[in-house]
Amino acid sequence: MPTLDEELFPSTPGKFKIDHRSYGINRQFYRFFASTSTMFLWALFLIALTVSYLSFQSFVDSSTRYLSASWGGLQWEKQVRTSAEIHRAGGMSVLVTGASGFVGTHVSLALKRRGDGVVGLDNFNNYYDPSLKKARKALVNRHGVFVVEGDVNDARLLDKLLDIVAFTHVMHLAAQAGVRYAMENPNSYVHSNIAGLVTLLEACKSANPQPAIVWASSSSVYGLNEKVPFSELDRTDQPASLYAATKKAGEEITHTYNHIYGLSITGLRFFTVYGPWGRPDMAYFSFTRNILQGKPITVYRGKNKVDLARDFTYIDDIVKGCLGSLDTSGKSTGSGGRKKGPAAYRIFNLGNTSPVTVPALVRILEEHLKTKAKKNILDMPGNGDVPFTHANISSARVELGYKPTTDLRTGLKKFVRWYLSYYGYDAVQP
């Protein structure tokens, strides 16, 4: 069969007379056909290239998300289950949020020591030096507590944890702390203290079985209340700071979830917690650092030159209150997000009941550090701080068996010993 070239251009010249008119038309048609085919092929090529790129990009994105995820996988699930194993009769399995925070670390260790199952969750944010949080994580790891790095706003992570382990309790300590920082970054308080709390409650109310919840409110909810000592029955509708307002909002939100979904919920109003592994933004911590470094400290006074006073509560006493709350919480009554009966809703003050002025605190630190503080005395700015706190703990005494035993002088001595050791001040002895 002759080829297309042979048909157009015969091999024996002179035997075929070319019709130039028809040849011109055919040549134009051929060029048009050839150019259209080429364009079509280029279009197909570009489409194929685009599809390939999108598929590859999707693969890369998926792989990146998988590789960068800090949780998930068989090994991870095994660590969660192992950490949650209960090693005592009648024990509990507890998910502790904010497990690498100050209170979270101590509560996790106390639970693990007595044989309860504990899994931690912490996002290791940089509100203060994350290296301290990492050190706390290493501490609880050595005692068999696995801490998941993740945010309490991550609903998928919470659902996964509650699916892997049928936690009997949740100890919710994750929060954006600090009164003054709220003036710099208010959104962080809404994100953590309100949105994060709701995300956690949503996960817990849908879990089957539902865990009982104990969570950290704050003495700051008493706000501008002038009646002392502060009682759980006092009004709490006059917050003095955004931090206080988010904690007050948390109390209203938890009441709602208790009422609608049957979640057993206990709120704990902490009063100025201090001790080893504490928060660097707290006054006693920063005072210690500055005194040792020879830097001045700022001591604020209230109206009419009145000294500020706080109901300083040692960490071990707070831990006793937390464990007592877990032990007496009662069960949630819902299932799959539906309430089947009333569940406990409680709020307790956890304080020391012995307020101490800030100048007295400084004098105790000077004694333990054997160094005189350089003090700047200033009037308290309008940053949300309140002039005093004083806890009425009668309800916690009766229902939780709560009884604080550590006075400020003893507690600060323990803190200073830890501080000197942790930061390497071997030459200075309290």
Known catalytic residues? 243
On whether the CB atoms of residues 224 and 240 are closer than 8 A, the answer is yes
Backbone φ, ψ for residue 259 (5° rounding): -70, -40
Biggest CA–CA distance in the chain, Å, is 124
Nearest to 308 by CA among 179, 203, 400: 179
Distance between CA atoms of 333 and 1, rounded to whole angstroms?
A: 88
The residues, ordered by sequence, that sit 6+ positions from 112 with a Cβ below 8 Å of its Cβ are 118, 140, 143, 144, 145
Backbone φ, ψ for residue 419 (5° rounding): -60, -45
Would you tell me the crossing angle of helices 408-422 and 358-369 to the nearest 10 degrees?
A: 50
Distance between CA atoms of 200 and 97, rounded to whole angstroms?
A: 10
Backbone φ, ψ for residue 376 (5° rounding): -110, 120
Q: Which residue has the tokens 């070239």?
A: 5
Enumerate long-range contacts of 374-377, CB under 8 Å, 24 or more apart: 374/294, 374/295, 374/296, 374/297, 375/296, 375/297, 375/298, 375/299, 376/296, 376/297, 376/298, 376/299, 377/299, 377/301
Distance between CA atoms of 331 and 348, rounded to whole angstroms?
A: 18
Q: DSSP letter for 127, please.
A: S
Using DSSP's 3-state secondary structure scheme, residue 70 falls into coil
On whether the CB atoms of residues 154 and 195 are closer than 8 A, the answer is no
